[in-house]
Amino acid sequence: MSANHSLDYGDLAFIYIDSKRKYLVKLGKGKILGTDKGFIKHEDIVGKKYGDIIYTSRNVKAYILKPLLIDLLQGLKRVTQIIYPKDSSLMIYLSSITPGSLVLEAGVGSGFLTASLANFVGDSGRIIGFDIREDHLLKASENLEKLGFDKRVELVLGDIREESIVVDNIFDAVFYDLPDPWNALNTAYKALKPSAPILIYVPTVNQIEKTVLSMRKHGGFIDIHVYEVLLREYSVEKNATRPYTLMIGHTGYIVFGRKISA
Ligand SMILES: C[S@@+](CC[C@H](N)C(=O)[O-])C[C@H]1O[C@@H](n2cnc3c(N)ncnc32)[C@H](O)[C@@H]1O
């Protein structure tokens, strides 16, 4: 959808009043967005464009924005720990996936990483996402449908440690967020195109060590690196610009490697 498109029922809009009042809405007939600054009827947003201004019932100014990926993710429901944008952004950069890429992911969990991957592979790409829990796949499926990404993703119930569930040498990248990724290295090795990357997310240093030592022992991966992303936001005030006092101290670690031919 272009940014100049006139909004219609079914479209997503990000309503921004101020930094504490931001709402992702799917425009629906008869629906109302309620806020502590007054309400906005969806029918009053229909026909407007992204970037336009609208006023709440209490005459407070709000902006109608085109949702960015980060806004879309904030509207999703979670049933598992998730991978946050600060980590998924580096994982996606390192993977070099582009529109049209074919990606293998396990475990899908709530589908937060899946949604980011789907955003980058576009309509011509595909994510094959495995999880051993049907209830997690159901939640991920609902989340992906909400964003209109469901056609870019095939969700499969299965244990990624079973090599037989993947086809050989077809994937442009593998992404793992599993409790024991070291037990699924053979599957990744089988599935990846020669020279393609693997990105593994683990929340503890014990898992880093087990994963990297297993990758070395496996012998099918080179250029192995481990990264941690620390993100600080700044508060900007005249003569008082500085990082915010609080920051997220820990999420997880990223293990990177590339497949080599046997
Ligand atoms: C922390 S969650 C993943 C969260 C996801 N990355 C996100 O951003 O929403 C881990 C998932 O791995 C799944 N899982 C665990 N072992 C698995 C296996 N052997 N094969 C496939 N999925 C597995 C779990 O059921 C769980 O849903």
Q: What domains are there in the chain, each with its CATH number?
A: 12-67 (3.10.330.20), 72-259 (3.40.50.150)
Instruction: Characterise 81 by phi-psi region: left (phi > 0), alpha (psi -120 to 50), beta (else).
Output: beta
Atom of ligand 1 nearest to the CA of 201: 6
Contacts of 44 (CB under 8 A, 6+ apart): 54
Among 131, 137, 142, 251, which is best to mutate for testing ligand 1, by the most ligand atoms less than 8 A from CB?
A: 131
Tens digit of pLDDT for each residue in 70-117? 999 988 999 999 999 999 999 999 999 999 999 999 999 999 999 999
Spatial distance between the Cα atoms of 108 and 128, rounded to a whole number of angstroms? 10
Tens digit of pLDDT for each residue in 216-240? 999 999 999 999 999 999 999 999 9
Residue 107, preceding bond cis, omega within 30 degrees?
yes
pTM for the full predicted model: 0.94
**What is the distance of C-alpha 80 from the center of its chain?**
13
Query: Is the reported ipTM for this assembly greater than 0.90?
Result: yes
Spatial distance between the Cα atoms of 148 and 80, rounded to a whole number of angstroms? 21
Is 65 flagged in the annotation as binding? no
Residue 93: name the closest of 175, 213, 7, 216 by CA: 175
Asked whether 106 lines ligand 1 (CB < 6 A), one says yes
